[in-house]
């Protein structure tokens, strides 16, 4: 893992967007895994500047991490709408190449199975963008999720529903179920890019990066990935015991590995 501690996620968004823009310029058919939530927004915003400067993302494919079950895709709070608003539209992706699990499907498990196949048919995800839940979830893989799980229906924890209640008028309106890429699906991506900010994430980040690999903290599975970069702001990094070491490594990174 490469752990990069930054003053703000705006700084992380710039660094990550520069790297991602190079990747896309080299391979215009890059397949991205797309996270919603506030943490990846600085990356998407920084990518907009690359697009304005000429980066063409029309042939890039996207696979959202997750979607609620129980609200319509057309609902502005759905992740389908969020991805369209934050990614597909502003970055000029071809909507036909952008996929979100069908939370409204009459048979959600069949929809989840189709999603796995679609990822395979696209050649697998090159770069999976991730946030982390305050309970350590990745996508919507809540504590207790199998570390080998595939895309499937999950029940949201009460803590996640409370965290996400800010997007709804009342807690009661927050869906109880979702379809999410599994941890095994996420781990199949060639590179993982995780963003976390704020003290509310400090405990989850410490457990994920320095705790035991355990379904108690689903994000800890990232320790088993051969190519993962984690950007955390100083607040989210507050409980990392090896924070100074991670800063030392990053500052002394040799040119050839940048």
- Encoded tokens for 102: 């069908």
- Contact between 42 and ligand GLP by CB under 6 A: the answer reads no
At 206, give phi and psi (nearest 5°).
-65, -40
Strand partners, 5: 232
- Contact between 30 and ligand GLP by CB under 6 A: the answer reads no
Q: Which member of 104, 131, 175, 182 binds ligand GLP (CB under 6 A)?
A: 131
Q: Taking CB under 6 A as the rule, which mask of x and - marks residues 91-130 in contact with ligand GLP?
A: ----------------------------------------
- Of the candidate spans 35-43, 81-89, 182-190, 217-225, the one that interacts with ligand GLP by CB under 6 A turns out to be 35-43
CA 84 to chain centre: 15
- Contact between 65 and ligand GLP by CB under 6 A: the answer reads yes
Q: Which member of 30, 39, 88, 220 binds ligand GLP (CB under 6 A)?
A: 39
Count the residues of the shown chain that bind ligand GLP, applying the rule CB under 6 A. 14
- Contact between 56 and ligand GLP by CB under 6 A: the answer reads no
- Contact between 185 and ligand GLP by CB under 6 A: the answer reads no
- Of the candidate spans 92-100, 131-139, 185-193, 234-242, the one that interacts with ligand GLP by CB under 6 A turns out to be 131-139
* CA distances, 243 to each of 16, 153, 172 (Å): 20, 36, 39
C-alpha torsion angle, residues 222, 223, 226, 229 (rounded to 10):
60
Q: How far is the CB of 60 from ligand GLP (least distance, A)?
A: 20
Q: Which of residues 156-175 bind ligand GLP (CB under 6 A)?
A: 160, 164
Count CB neighbours of 22 within 10 A: 12
So which residues are the catalytic ones?
66, 135, 137, 142
- Contact between 220 and ligand GLP by CB under 6 A: the answer reads no
CA distance 138 to 226: 17
- Of the candidate spans 7-15, 132-140, 168-176, 233-241, the one that interacts with ligand GLP by CB under 6 A turns out to be 132-140
CA distance 68 to 70: 6
- Which residue, 24 or 136, is less far from ligand GLP as judged by CB? 136
- Contact between 182 and ligand GLP by CB under 6 A: the answer reads no
Count CB neighbours of 136 within 10 A: 25
Q: What is the largest CA-CA distance in the chain?
A: 53
Of 49, 38, 48, the closest CA to residue 9 belongs to: 38
Cβ neighbors of 182 (< 8 A, separation 6 or more) are 139, 141, 145, 146, 148, 149, 150, 151, 152
Q: Which member of 132, 205, 206, 221 binds ligand GLP (CB under 6 A)?
A: 132
CA distance 97 to 35: 16
Q: How far is the CB of 224 from ligand GLP (least distance, A)?
A: 19
Summarize as ranges the residues that interact with ligand GLP (CB under 6 A): 35-39, 65-66, 131-133, 139-140, 160, 164
């Amino acid at each position: 893992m490469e752990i990069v501690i930054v003053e703000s996620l705006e700084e992380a968004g710039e660094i990550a967007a520069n790297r991602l823009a190079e990747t896309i310029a080299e391979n215009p058919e890059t397949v991205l895994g797309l996270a919603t939530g506030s943490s990846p927004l600085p990356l998407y915003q920084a990518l907009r500047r690359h697009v304005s400067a000429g980066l063409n993302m029309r042939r890039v494919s996207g696979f959202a991490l997750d979607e609620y079950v129980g609200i319509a895709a057309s609902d502005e709070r759905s992740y389908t709408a969020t991805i369209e608003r934050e990614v597909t539209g502003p970055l000029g992706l071809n909507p036909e190449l952008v996929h979100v699990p069908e939370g409204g499907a009459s048979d959600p498990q069949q929809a989840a199975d189709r999603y796995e196949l679609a990822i395979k048919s696209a050649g697998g995800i090159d770069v999976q963008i991730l946030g982390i839940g305050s309970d350590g979830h990745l996508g919507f893989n809540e504590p207790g999720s199998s570390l080998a799980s595939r895309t499937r229906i999950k029940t949201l924890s009460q803590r996640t529903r409370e965290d996400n209640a800010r997007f709804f008028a009342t807690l009661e309106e927050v869906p109880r179920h979702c379809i999410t890429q599994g941890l095994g699906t996420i781990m199949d991506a060639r590179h993982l890019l995780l963003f976390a900010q704020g003290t509310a994430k400090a405990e989850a980040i410490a457990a994920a990066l320095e705790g035991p690999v355990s379904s108690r903290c689903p994000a800890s599975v990232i320790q088993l990935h051969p190519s993962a970069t984690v950007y955390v702001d100083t607040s989210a990094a507050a409980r990392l015991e090896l924070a100074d070491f991670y800063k030392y490594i990053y500052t002394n990174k040799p040119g050839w590995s940048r």
